[in-house]
């Protein structure tokens, strides 16, 4: 947990605080937006408002647990044990958010899909004991989808614990992922199961891929995300490490698929009311990006 000695002066006085070790990953601001805000001057988070309601206190505790840098502290220890056991927390239907972000993936979000044919882990959270225990109680993991080379974090520990099959595009396999159970190649979508489709989306990295689940949820890694409180879609040349023209082409390709949710590694989630609305949002993003 964070230390008082390094407490940022921007924090509102009270039990919760952020210290100087914050890496500005956005996890806390997404989990508890009424408590945490971003200081653009410092380039990190701080406690803008101490939580007042029990719901806000719960969200602040979840942020403390999820923080990849242990940069959040509190003098109020009540409820922390419960918060440490709360992840994965529900996003929608059988899709949950894993919390326990890892600094190895710069605090990227990872997700858990509970499905009768075998549970899926989307990218790797920190292999924290309470999360491993909870995932085991929920039936373990049979498949681990790795969206790209940057968000693999503790993939090996999850594979060891749950004997799951890890899937990664061959173009993003590296020294730390060369032993994954399944790599795939090429630029064509690949059906993993009736309800799971791999879609190559090169751009951010050469081997970036999205996972489409039930034609409803698209897990996008760092290819595409929500912005402005989840009111629009976004992608950015500033975090494109491989090819921006290819990333634009990959975004355009997503128009061929039907989905309602964008669940990214970094950035906010985006939920459209229908596949038609998602298509409109994607077309709007492409227009904005092409205008430059
Ligand atoms: S979750 Fe932690 S590291 Fe990330 S922005 Fe918040 S305080 Fe900083």
Residue of the CA atom closest to atom 1 of ligand 1? 67
Q: Given the structure tokens 């939920």, which residue do they identify? A: 271
* Ligand 1 atom index nearest CA of 38: 5
Q: How many CB atoms lie within 10 A of CB 186?
A: 10
Residue of the CA atom closest to atom 5 of ligand 1? 24
The whole-angstrom separation of Cα 249 and Cα 160 is 36
* Ligand 1 atom index nearest CA of 27: 1
| Weakly modelled stretches of the chain, pLDDT under 70 | none
Tokens read off for 51: 């939580």
Is residue 201 a contact partner of residue 254, using CB atoms and an 8 Å limit? yes
Distance (Å) from CA 81 to ligand 1 centroid: 19
The whole-angstrom separation of Cα 77 and Cα 94 is 31
The whole-angstrom separation of Cα 16 and Cα 196 is 41
Distance (Å) from CA 56 to ligand 1 centroid: 17
Is residue 275 a contact partner of residue 257, using CB atoms and an 8 Å limit? no
The whole-angstrom separation of Cα 17 and Cα 35 is 10
Residue of the CA atom closest to atom 8 of ligand 1? 22
Residue of the CA atom closest to atom 6 of ligand 1? 28
Q: What is the pLDDT of residue 253?
A: 97
Distance (Å) from CA 105 to ligand 1 centroid: 13
Beta-carbon contacts of residue 116 (< 8 Å; ≥ 6 apart): none
Tokens read off for 218: 């698209």
CA-CA distances (angstroms) from residue 240 to 25, 31, 248, 288?
17, 26, 10, 17
Collapsed DSSP state (helix, strand, coil) of residue 129: helix
Q: What is the pLDDT of residue 292?
A: 75
The whole-angstrom separation of Cα 277 and Cα 249 is 20
Tokens read off for 21: 């070790």
Q: What is the pLDDT of residue 1?
A: 73
Q: What is the pLDDT of residue 29?
A: 97
Distance (Å) from CA 46 to ligand 1 centroid: 9
Return the H-helix or E-strand segment holding 225: strand 225-227
Q: What is the pLDDT of residue 201?
A: 98
The whole-angstrom separation of Cα 209 and Cα 72 is 32
Query: Which of 18, 39, 59 most suits a substitution to test ligand 1, by most atoms within 8 Å of the C-beta?
Result: 18
By residue count, the chain amounts to: 292
* Ligand 1 atom index nearest CA of 103: 3
> Do the strands 120-122 and 143-145 form a parallel or antiparallel pair, or are they unpaired?
parallel
Q: What is the pLDDT of residues 99-148, one digit of tens each?
A: 999 999 999 999 999 999 999 999 999 999 999 999 999 999 999 999 99
Pocket of ligand 1 (CB under 6 A): 18, 22-28, 44-45, 67-69, 71-72, 107
The whole-angstrom separation of Cα 103 and Cα 42 is 19
Distance (Å) from CA 148 to ligand 1 centroid: 22
The whole-angstrom separation of Cα 148 and Cα 206 is 9
Distance (Å) from CA 104 to ligand 1 centroid: 13
């Amino acid at each position: 947990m964070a230390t008082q000695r390094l407490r940022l002066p921007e924090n509102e006085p009270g039990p919760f605080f952020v210290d100087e070790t914050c890496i500005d990953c956005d996890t806390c601001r997404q989990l508890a937006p009424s408590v945490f805000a971003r200081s653009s001057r410092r380039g990190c988070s701080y406690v803008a408002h101490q939580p007042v309601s029990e719901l806000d206190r719960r969200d602040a505790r979840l942020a403390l647990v999820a923080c990849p840098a242990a940069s959040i502290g509190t003098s109020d220890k009540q409820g922390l044990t419960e918060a440490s056991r709360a992840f994965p927390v529900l996003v929608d239907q059988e899709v949950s958010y894993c919390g326990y972000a890892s600094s190895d993936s710069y605090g990227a979000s990872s997700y858990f899909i509970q499905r009768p044919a075998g549970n899926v882990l989307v990218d790797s959270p920190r292999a924290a004991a309470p999360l491993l225990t909870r995932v085991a109680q929920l039936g373990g993991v049979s498949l681990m989808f790795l969206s790209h080379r940057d968000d693999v974090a503790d993939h090996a520990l999850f594979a060891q614990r749950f004997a799951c099959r890890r899937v990664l595009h061959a173009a993003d396999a590296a020294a730390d992922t060369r032993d994954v159970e399944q790599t795939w190649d090429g630029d064509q979508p690949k059906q993993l199961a009736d309800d799971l489709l791999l879609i190559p989306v090169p751009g951010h990295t050469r081997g970036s891929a999205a996972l489409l689940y039930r034609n409803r949820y698209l897990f996008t890694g760092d290819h595409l995300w929500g912005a402005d409180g989840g009111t629009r879609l976004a992608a950015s040349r500033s975090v494109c490490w491989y090819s921006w023209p290819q990333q634009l082409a990959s975004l355009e390709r997503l128009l061929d698929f039907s989905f309602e949710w964008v669940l990214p590694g970094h950035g906010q989630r985006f939920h459209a009311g229908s596949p038609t609305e998602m298509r409109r949002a994607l077309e709007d993003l492409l227009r904005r990006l092409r205008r430059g």
